[in-house]
């Protein structure tokens, strides 16, 4: 499942004047640009995928106001923009989306004027669909993975021996529409805990990390900035709220270095680079310009755009997650067995090529951005990374592929092995072959590693964090939570009955997962078509409270043991 996440859910809304776009550009070249950079989030009206991806359908919206398709839940910023798209406005939007519409989910620009004009020319050729093709699937499917079966303490386990066949159900286009938080509504947490609104009026808060001194760093990805909050132990609201850095291209991952002792740098994972700022404990604003550590992570544009980063316990390795450029490597050119062997000799087992070069993988560098190599491949979109404190293992929270039906393919949270191949795009969960690549990689049969914890398909698992073993603050959780994983599920678009939009807990026994997960924070879903919150980031505050960010309504929640 994609996310802005998970990506970022693109809002490439393109009503514009038909004809002038054709005169301005080359539609054939524009189609190629669309397939490479836009198709993971948007459909064009092709009958095989009439609803598109997690962004709105682009067919039949020529001449309409921005945010006008009834079947899609737009950001509040887009819906309130009152823009009518013509060639000039669309060109400006594609060149700098967040300048034209601050707060839009479309954060990756198309920098080439020629590419923009050609893309507009192609989109101008798309025709409107009939009313029946535009209907969103919002009928409750009544399966165990649906939101009605969520409640704190409920256990979920996906039996991999009973995965449905591909296309057992139709691929749904059930986009969540965000509504305002109902009066008095709060998320629901287990008995013995209390949850309170910590901060509101943020702009799409996503990934978070707690600095060594206890400050909370938050990526406001849509606005291209990093915010820092400060709150004394036990405080139920921050006392300091400052923009640490801004003007960044879709920042997501945040990491402090060195990992032991006093930090000297804060690293930021942008959509196609890694930068760092000089940092001392307590800095509320960057004291100098960003220093580029990795100038370019991948040569292709579009696709999954979030880049989480973490350091190994010894500080010698920097891990960077780079999601795929497409759903399932559509249009990937074939290679002969000899070509594949040569390619993998210079890359890694299962590494994709073409527009997917260096993507769908976790890359590893030294802290200076040198000595690049693959840590693991075949991971469609590892939105969240975390190091397990007990043993130094690297864990990922992964969005799997779409369009195979309501219950395929499960997302997952898992430790990953160095040199491991996890299936994408040819296989999933071991030896299940993706029918869209049937027979193309028999050499990989039986080589895909099965992840630890499958999560309901299309949940859009995002950030994960380990609850510290040594938590001793005033809001510390009980000992049976120590060392466990908490993870945010952003919520589905490609499923008939809504799933996700919650925080889960994975209990670890002797550092290992048993393949199941438990609901911890629920209550954001109104019905199959509407939500009032979509969790993204999770981090543990200095006092032991769990903080959760929601990018739908721009809120931050604090969960702590109930006061006696």
Helix/strand/coil for 167: coil
Helix/strand/coil for 91: helix
For residue range 400-444, list pLDDT tens digits in order: 999 999 999 999 999 999 999 999 999 999 999 999 999 999 999
**Beta bridge mates, 489:** 461, 502
pLDDT on residue 27: 74
Specify the range with the lowest mean pLDDT, choosing from 43-47, 378-382, 388-392.
43-47
Q: What is the largest CA-CA distance in the chain?
A: 70
Write down the pTM of the prediction: 0.85
In this structure, are residues 517 and 504 in contact, taking their beta carbons and an 8 Å threshold? yes
> Where does residue 41 rank: exposed (0-12), middle (13-18), buried (19+ CB within 10 A)?
buried
Specify the range with the lowest mean pLDDT, choosing from 7-21, 22-36, 547-561.
7-21
pLDDT on residue 157: 96
pLDDT on residue 4: 43
pLDDT on residue 145: 87
Helix or strand holding residue 527 (H, E): strand 525-527
E-assigned strands of 261-407? 265-269, 274-278, 291-294, 309-311, 318-322, 361-365, 373-377, 382-387, 394-398
Q: In whole numbers, what is the pLDDT of the chain averaged over residues?
A: 87
For residue range 207-266, list pLDDT tens digits in order: 999 999 999 999 999 999 999 999 999 999 999 999 999 999 999 999 999 999 999 999
pLDDT on residue 92: 77
Q: Which of 48, 142, 125 is nearest to 407 (CA)?
A: 142
Confidence of residue 32 (pLDDT cuts 50, 70, 90): low
Alpha helices in 462-552 (DSSP H): none
> Where does residue 337 rank: exposed (0-12), middle (13-18), buried (19+ CB within 10 A)?
exposed
Confidence of residue 546 (pLDDT cuts 50, 70, 90): very high
Specify the range with the lowest mean pLDDT, choosing from 46-50, 119-123, 515-519.
46-50
52 or 538: whose pLDDT is higher? 538
Helix/strand/coil for 487: strand
Confidence of residue 82 (pLDDT cuts 50, 70, 90): low
For residue range 462-491, list pLDDT tens digits in order: 999 999 999 999 999 999 999 999 999 999
pLDDT on residue 14: 38
**Beta bridge mates, 219:** 226
458 or 183: whose pLDDT is higher? 458
357 or 134: whose pLDDT is higher? 357
Q: What is the 3-state secondary structure (H, E, C) of 271-287?
A: CCCEEEEECCCCCCCCC
The sign one gets for the Cα dihedral 98, 101, 103, 105 is: negative
Specify the range with the lowest mean pLDDT, choosing from 11-20, 108-117, 128-137.
11-20
For residue range 294-331, list pLDDT tens digits in order: 999 999 888 999 999 999 999 999 999 999 999 999 98
**Taking residues 114-134, what's their average pLDDT?**
65
Please count the other Cβ atoms lying within 10 Å of the Cβ belonging to residue 66: 25
pLDDT on residue 89: 74
């Amino acid at each position: 499942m994609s996310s802005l996440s998970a990506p970022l859910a693109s809002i490439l809304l393109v009503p514009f004047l038909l004809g002038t776009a054709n005169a301005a550009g080359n539609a054939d070249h524009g189609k190629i640009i669309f397939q490479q950079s836009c198709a993971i989030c948007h459909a064009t009206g092709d009958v095989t995928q009439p609803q598109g991806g997690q962004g709105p359908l682009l067919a039949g919206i020529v001449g309409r106001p921005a945010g006008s398709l009834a079947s899609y839940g737009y950001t509040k910023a887009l819906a309130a923009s009152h823009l009518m798209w013509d060639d000039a406005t669309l060109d400006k939007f594609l060149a700098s989306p967040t300048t034209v519409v601050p707060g839009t989910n479309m954060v990756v620009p198309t920098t080439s004027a020629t590419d923009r004009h050609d893309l507009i020319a192609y989109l101008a050729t798309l025709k409107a669909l009939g009313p029946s093709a535009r209907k969103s699937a919002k009928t409750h499917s009544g399966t165990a993975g649906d939101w009605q079966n969520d409640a704190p303490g409920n256990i979920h386990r996906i039996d991999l021996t009973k995965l449905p066949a591909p296309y057992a159900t139709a691929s749904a286009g059930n986009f969540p529409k965000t509504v305002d938080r109902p009066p008095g509504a709060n998320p629901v947490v287990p008995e013995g805990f209390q949850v309170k609104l910590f901060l509101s009026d943020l702009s799409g808060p996503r990934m978070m990390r707690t600095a060594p001194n206890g400050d909370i760093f938050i990526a406001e990805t849509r606005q291209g900035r990093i915010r820092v909050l400060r709150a004394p132990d036990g405080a139920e609201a921050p006392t300091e709220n400052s923009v640490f850095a801004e003007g960044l291209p879709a920042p997501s991952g945040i990491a402090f270095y060195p990992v032991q002792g006093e930090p000297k740098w804060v690293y930021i994972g942008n959509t196609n680079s890694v930068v760092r700022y000089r940092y001392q404990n307590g800095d509320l604003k960057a004291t100098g310009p960003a220093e580029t550590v990795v100038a370019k992570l991948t040569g292709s544009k579009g696709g999954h755009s979030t880049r989480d980063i973490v350091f190994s316990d010894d500080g010698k390795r920097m891990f960077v997650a780079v999601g795929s450029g497409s759903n399932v490597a559509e249009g990937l050119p074939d290679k002969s067995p000899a070509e594949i062997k040569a390619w993998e000799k210079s890359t890694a087992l299962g590494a994709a090529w073409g527009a997917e070069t260096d993507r769908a993988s976790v890359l590893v560098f030294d802290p200076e951005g040198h000595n690049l190599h693959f840590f693991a491949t075949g991971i469609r979109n590892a939105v969240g990374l975390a190091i397990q404190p007990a043993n130094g293992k690297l864990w990922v929270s992964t969005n799997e592929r779409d369009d195979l039906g309501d219950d395929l393919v499960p997302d997952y949270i898992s430790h990953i092995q160095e040199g491991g191949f996890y299936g994408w795009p040819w296989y999933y969960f071991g030896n299940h072959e993706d029918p869209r690549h049937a027979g193309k990689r028999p050499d990989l049969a039986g080589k895909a590693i099965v992840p630890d914890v499958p999560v309901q398909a299309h949940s859009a698992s995002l950030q994960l964090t380990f609850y510290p073993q040594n938590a001793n603050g005033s809001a510390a959780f009980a000992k049976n939570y120590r060392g466990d994983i908490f993870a945010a599920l952003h919520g589905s678009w490609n499923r008939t009955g809504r799933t996700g939009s919650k925080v889960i807990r994975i209990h670890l026994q002797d550092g290992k997962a048993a393949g199941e997960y438990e609901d911890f924070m629920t209550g954001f879903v109104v019905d199959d078509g509407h939500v009032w919150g979509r969790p993204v980031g999770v981090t543990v505050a200095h006092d032991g409270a769990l903080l959760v960010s929601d990018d739908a309504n721009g809120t931050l929640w604090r969960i702590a043991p109930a006061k006696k």
